Amino acid sequence: ALLPAKIAGEVPAERVSLPAPQSDFPALAVTADGAVWVAYVEWNGVDSDRVLVRRKGADGKWSRPIELSDGCFEHYTPALAPCGTGVVAIWPGHNAAGFDLYWARIDASGSLSDVRQLTKAKHGDFNVRCAADGQGNVTVVWQSFRNDQADVYACRLTASGQATPPVRVSPSDANDWEPAVALDSEGVAWIVWDSYDRGNYDVFLRSFDGKKLGKLIAITTEPSAQFHTTVAVDAKDRKWVAWDDAGENWGKDFSRTSAARGSRGLHFSRTLGVRVVDRGLIYAPQAELKKILTGRMSRYAELPTLAVDGSGTIWLIFRHWTIAKPHEMYHFYATRLTNDGWTLPLRLGHSSGRNTQRPDVARAPDGSLRVVYSSDGRAPGVKPKDAVHALPYVTYLATLPDSQTAATVSIKEVTLPDPQPKWHRRERPRHQVGDKEYILLLGDCHRHTDVRGHSGVDGSALDTYRYALDPAQLDFLGLGDHNQVTAGQWPDGLRDYQWWYEQKFVDLFTHEPVFMGIYSYEHSLSRPSGHRNILHLKRGAPMRLADRSKDSPDNQPPNLWQWIEKNVLTQQGQKVVLVPHTFAAGPLADWNWPNARFDCLLEIYQGCRGSYEAWRLPPGEKRGPTQTNEPGHFARDALRVGNVYGFVSFSDHSSTHNSWAGVWAEAPTREALFDAMLARRTFGASDEIILKVAAVDRSQNPPRYHAVGERIRAKVSHPPTIEMEIAAPETILRVDVVRDGQYVFTTHPKRRTFRATFTDANPQPGDSYYYVRVFQVDPENPDGDPEIGWASPIFVRYD
């Protein structure tokens, strides 16, 4: 176990927002008269949030909140820029088309100008930052999905109140993320962001004078994931850039069975990096940060923010995972660069909370730095008041200690390695089944985040979306954080506010037809129900609070199904998919009831644990070690007693790039995705194995085609023909057709593609199921368990 980090003490902080409502995602500005302005997003506890601004003047009192009314029901992190004795506010608001940017001016008296819409884009504009030049001009940068990928844009709000046309700053065809901006002494904006252009996240810097862009400067080209960047400009006009580093092959193959080199989960470790750009050359400080990052901080230091105080001293504020249990606690810390190196970090008071939180920093006229952030006050012994309501996030303001004089900073030139190969987008396969053409959507709806106590292996909610969009190139993602339960109440878990902001993230990142977020959570009960992930087509579904004690009726699946029918499916246009998982690992699930029509898919494999196809399969026919020795809980057991399920593979904890749910949809939309899942038109795989399987009834004229998951009738004298086409990234070792738990077809292709047909020579009257299974060499562990893919069954009633 890592020891606590050594720190120099704690900086006091004062509360800005009211103590009761959830007040999150703050921004900060300090104006020429020394007034402090703070903006934040306040949730009403039910169905909407709003952006509020408060001002603290010379009298030391906070003004009443000023609401920035834009007609939108939800908002994300705002930005503030000083403009004389007033401020310019820019913020993302969710309107009918998605998240767009809005802006307004507020004067020192609190008078608000008309709220104006800054952007109108097909998809979300968010992650907004800004910087003011002292002449009334404000450079605004943000991230946008308007071109079906994430790009960085910039514009300038002029002193006359006009907005220049948006300029695309990032040139890559890959996703570009989380820009930050700072101005030099000439008023030129320096914009940083990170890009997946080379398949690993690198940091880039570019200037913008309000009209033209400067040359693209690569700050990092190492093979590791270097992201979450920040920029500051010092008194010599040197550009300081920092980021955090998650290591090599972040988000690539990692499972219970094997892993790519360096891949160890989305949050195995984070370290900080700093470089300096001066006259086009790249340098690094001689002083090393790692010398003052001790104990746990040597492994978990991330999400940096750079700032320069009035003396010219460089400050670095960062997030650190301070305490792992009883629930995860992250705090903000600050260090400054002196003649003796970086100082021992100071903890910022009242800064505990979840992983992905960013502070905002502003310099006051006296040269001191103010820092604003939000905290839910989590600490050992501090629990939410009940299983429904989360601890409230409150906005705080801290002032960093004065620096008397700036350090004489020694820097050394850095030679960057050659960049990695260019990233390429994966094409979506298509599958023709009779006169129907389907498009393949790959996804994962069981990914945990820092909401529920697994940050040693799971990333934050925001980093999980990065993983889905970039290393995995998923078409859809559903987070699978545990709903809060009674009878064993956890100090963390998905309560009301976490459910609200996780749904917000779905809205932020969805950009059909490229990517769809899913409104989902994990419903965590004991045997006989076990755990099920609950997926919703539409936003606003309630979470089910349940008693997980062993003998509770809540653990009976029919009671869950009835609750879904009564409380969720009564919402207009709502659709729901339930996916049992860990049913043969624990908590075990029993198959004593006919499954509901929406309880329709089984998570047959989890990269976190293993496969659950059948009891006591021999080595070479299963993956992972976690199967129970108790019979009756596996996928074949569910089918044997008459349940009708399709197959998918989701990851659960830690595992990345090793659990693939393939869904053959009629269109790349969330609606079509749900229709396909409800029809069980799916497959599950541990690698990017593509299974095209269909049944053909050639006794009909013309022949009648059926996709996987369908229930069909046939005569014993004319059994359907199973058609299969398989494409695998590595050598296919074996292909089986399984009928009612028995192997009725087996072959060993020893190549990467395979096509065949199978017709049952001995069908029996009654109900049967058939599914295709494929084994492939594991490229990271060729002598270990194989990679496996399972097509959903085709259900046949023979007459």
- Over residues 408-455, the pLDDT tens digits come to 999 999 999 999 999 999 999 999 999 999 999 999 999 999 887 676
Same domain, 608 and 522: yes
Of 570, 576, 521, the C-alpha closest to 543 is: 521
| The pLDDT value given to residue 453 | 66
Identify the CATH number of the domain in which residue 645 sits.
3.20.20.140
AA letter at 515: F
Of 452, 326, 450, 304, the C-alpha closest to 378 is: 326
Residue pLDDT, tens place only, 203-248? 999 999 999 999 999 999 999 999 999 999 999 999 999 999 999 9
Same domain, 542 and 630: yes
Identify the CATH number of the domain in which residue 767 sits.
2.60.40.10
Sign of the Cα torsion 62, 100, 73, 462 reads negative
How crowded is residue 558: how many other Cβ atoms within 10 Å of its Cβ?
14
How crowded is residue 593: how many other Cβ atoms within 10 Å of its Cβ?
15
Of 88, 110, 213, 106, the C-alpha closest to 158 is: 88
How crowded is residue 237: how many other Cβ atoms within 10 Å of its Cβ?
14
Residue 561 DSSP SS3: helix
Of 246, 245, 236, 229, the C-alpha closest to 191 is: 229
For residues 556 and 575, what is the distance between their CA atoms, to the nearest angstrom?
A: 22
Q: Is residue 464 situated within a structural domain?
A: yes
Same domain, 706 and 763: yes
Alpha-carbon dihedral 107, 110, 115, 119, rounded to 10 degrees? 60
Same domain, 739 and 793: yes
**Percent of the chain's residues with pLDDT above 90:** 91
Q: Is residue 671 situated within a structural domain?
A: yes
Residue 555 gets which letter from DSSP? G
Tokens of 430: 């298509």
Question: What is the rounded average pLDDT of the residues 547-573?
Answer: 93
Tokens of 80: 């503030």
Name the domain boundary from 627, 656, 686.
686
Q: Is residue 138 situated within a structural domain?
A: no
Q: How confident is the model at residue 548 (pLDDT cuts 50, 70, 90)?
A: confident
Residue pLDDT, tens place only, 619-651? 999 999 999 999 999 999 999 999 999 999 999
Of 630, 648, 678, the C-alpha closest to 790 is: 648
| The pLDDT value given to residue 718 | 96
Name the domain boundary from 665, 686, 707.
686
Of 549, 497, 503, 526, the C-alpha closest to 385 is: 497
Buried b (16+ CB within 10 A) or exposed e, 129-142: bbbbbeebbbbbbb
Q: How confident is the model at residue 489 (pLDDT cuts 50, 70, 90)?
A: low
Question: What is the rounded average pLDDT of the residues 574-590?
Answer: 96
Same domain, 505 and 546: yes
Tokens of 184: 């030099």
Of 144, 238, 138, the C-alpha closest to 193 is: 144
**pLDDT at position 520 over 60:** yes
Same domain, 680 and 701: no
- For the chain, the residue count is 799
For residues 659 and 653, what is the distance between their CA atoms, to the nearest angstrom?
A: 11
Same domain, 670 and 716: no
| The pLDDT value given to residue 573 | 98
| The pLDDT value given to residue 760 | 98
For residues 526 and 171, what is the distance between their CA atoms, to the nearest angstrom?
A: 50
Sequence-ordered alpha helix ranges (H) in 470-607: 496-509, 557-567
Same domain, 703 and 564: no
For residues 564 and 347, what is the distance between their CA atoms, to the nearest angstrom?
A: 45
Give the chain's radius of gyration (CA, Å).
28
Same domain, 562 and 642: yes
Residues near 318 by beta carbon (within 8 Å), at least 6 away in sequence: 244, 272, 301, 302, 303, 304, 305, 332, 333, 334, 335, 345
Beta bridge partners of 230: 242
Domain that holds residue 560: 440-686
- On the 0-12 / 13-18 / 19+ scale of CB atoms within 10 A, 213 is middle
How crowded is residue 432: how many other Cβ atoms within 10 Å of its Cβ?
11
Tally of domains in the chain: 2
Q: What share of the chain is helix, strand, coil (3-state, %, to 5)?
A: 10, 45, 50
Q: Is residue 113 situated within a structural domain?
A: no
How crowded is residue 725: how many other Cβ atoms within 10 Å of its Cβ?
16
For residues 257 and 463, what is the distance between their CA atoms, to the nearest angstrom?
A: 23
Of 53, 55, 105, 47, the C-alpha closest to 72 is: 47
Residue pLDDT, tens place only, 259-302? 999 999 999 999 999 999 999 999 999 999 999 999 999 999 99
Beta bridge partners of 259: 254
Of 557, 473, 33, 83, the C-alpha closest to 251 is: 473
Average pLDDT, the chain: 95
Beta bridge partners of 10: 347
| The pLDDT value given to residue 487 | 62
Question: What is the rounded average pLDDT of the residues 129-152?
Answer: 96
Residue with tokens 């809540």: 554
| The pLDDT value given to residue 323 | 87
| The pLDDT value given to residue 490 | 66
**pLDDT at position 157 over 70:** yes
Name the domain boundary from 671, 686, 701.
686
H or E segment to which residue 417 belongs: none
Nearest 5°: CA angle at 509, between 181 and 653?
A: 105
Same domain, 520 and 648: yes
Residue 437 DSSP SS3: strand
Contact 750, 731 (CB under 8 A): yes
Q: Is residue 519 situated within a structural domain?
A: yes
What angle, 0 to 180 degrees and rounded to 10, lies between the N-to-C axes of helices 496-509 and 461-469?
30
Tokens of 557: 């699946």
Residue pLDDT, tens place only, 38-91? 999 999 999 999 999 999 999 999 999 999 999 999 999 999 999 999 999 999
Same domain, 699 and 607: no
Q: Is residue 459 situated within a structural domain?
A: yes
Q: Is residue 704 situated within a structural domain?
A: yes
Question: What is the rounded average pLDDT of the residues 738-756?
Answer: 98
Q: Is residue 208 situated within a structural domain?
A: no
Same domain, 458 and 485: yes
